[in-house]
Amino acid sequence: MRLQDKSVPCTVSCPFCQTNYENDWHVFIGCEEAKSVWQTAGLWELIRDTVNNATSFADCFFSSLRRLTSDKSNDIALMFWCLWRHRNDKVWDGDLKTINIVV
């Protein structure tokens, strides 16, 4: 997301929807691709209220982890990592995995 500042040639648009500026909120929550991953994993219901009340991505991330059980917090943290990996596979390798593979 800030790679342009380091002279790495990449787009500032979301690699999935191509319509939004790519920032942390969009990559992990705002993009329809991300929402589909959360829903397919059965985790959207766990973070929906936090997403609706968060003031930033960091607030959403840490609030989700604080309010859930240890097992569910692990699931949420792992899903954030999976979304980041999914994005990087698409950007750097041109590898678009299905949502079921991401989950």
Per-residue pLDDT of the chain (103 residues; tens, 9 = 90+): 555 565 666 677 888 998 878 889 999 999 999 999 999 999 999 999 999 999 999 999 999 999 999 999 999 999 999 999 999 999 889 899 999 999 8
| Domain boundaries of the chain, sorted by first residue | 23-102
For tokens 């766990």, what's the residue? 46
pTM of the model: 0.86
